[in-house]
Structure 1
Amino acid sequence: MVGELNDPMALGIHPAAPHGASSPSDRLPQFVRRDCFPPLLDRLRLGGLVLIVGESTAGKSRLAYEAMRAALPDHEAFVVKPGHDLRAVAAEAAKVRRCVLWFDEFDQFLGVGGLTTDLVGAMLDGANRHVVLLASMRSKEYDRYGARQREVTDAATWRSGREVLLMAAEPLRLERLWTPAEVARARSAAADPRVARAARGTGNRFGVAELLAAGPELVNDWRHAWQPGTHSP
């Protein structure tokens, strides 16, 4: 069940630098409600393909995770990974009356051998069922399927992916830079000083989620700087 999910990082959510005693739960910073949280809840309750688009480290996966837990806690969860047999996934999901299919990095499921409109339709089909395909995707990848970005050399793949994306209607766009209201909520996050510090460091260049994720990623880059093709410190 969605309400029983206990490993957010396995769903693609960026960890934060540890705070206090190190533990798996400590790697997930306190959630700060984004302005688009209520509209996302409404979309999840309606069902269908729900797509969140935004830049890297904008907080797409965390937003999707928290909204899914808030709106659909009693739904069965299917965490779909690249390489999974999508027809088999669709067959398993068809046996469940209420379910969420989680697609992180949705662009990895488009193209040859990936999702088609028929396959998405099969996942959503069935009387008295409530099914959500909850997907997140980087803005750059989403824009590749825009009307002006068509690559003639791969027109069939482009068209197939675009048709699937159009099933989500207008995507919910999550901005990397936080609004004043969002920053104010982050600054009042007394339960997690990491969030408050990140909120104080925002401006015209960085978002709160971006700052929270940057620490662990920079440490990882430094640890692997010795590898060929990287820059040594």
Structure 2
Amino acid sequence: MTFIAPPCQEPLTELYRDDELVVVVKPAGLLSVPGRPPNDHDSAHARLLAIEPETRVVHRLDMSTSGLMVFGLNAASHRELSRQFQDREVKKGYIAEVWGTPEQASGDVCLPLICDWPNRPKQRVDHELGKKALTRYRLMMGNGPHGRVWLEPVTGRSHQLRVHMAELGHPILGCEFYAHDKARAASERLHLHASLLIFKHPATGETMKFESQPPF
């Protein structure tokens, strides 16, 4: 039986637009880019193409993750924004709600990741074949059985934040891939939100900073 995701009813919120780029807040449950049929009916990119046909994808968020995204609006801006992401010049910050509270108020999680091919799209830690993956975390506050953490991915591996927090013993609430049963059942959505995005304007070089508070 083929699973067909229900359509996302939440709006795609524009925070900024000029001739070079557009910055939006993507809701949880909306694809960043069109997927394979029959799940390709809606995405952040598709919605923006309906406004400006030259909109180009620079980076992605998982469907389950909400938060900030930037898109280029012409070939030159797309190329420069993509370069900044590739060269790790873009600063990204995420807020997550996790199961339990980390004992250390801050730290680094450096565990190499590789695709778990029999169970894709899941990833797994592999110290021999995995690619380097580094996440910096900071405890924002504890909330009974749950904690709120600030996450900064130094590298950008698939599912990196989810795997690293689960390996730390504090899976993200609502995570369908890496959380244990209680943490998964704690929320109907993944409690992970892209809250900070800082980059250079592709045409002017001006520092652009955008922030978004999580809806959880």
TM above 0.5, yes or no, is no
Q: Which has the larger radius of gyration?
A: 1
Shorter-chain TM-score: what band?
Answer: under 0.3
TM superposition score normalised by structure 1: 0.23
Greater relative CO, 1 or 2 (CA 8 Å, sep 6+): 1
Higher-helix-fraction structure: 1
Higher-strand-fraction structure: 2
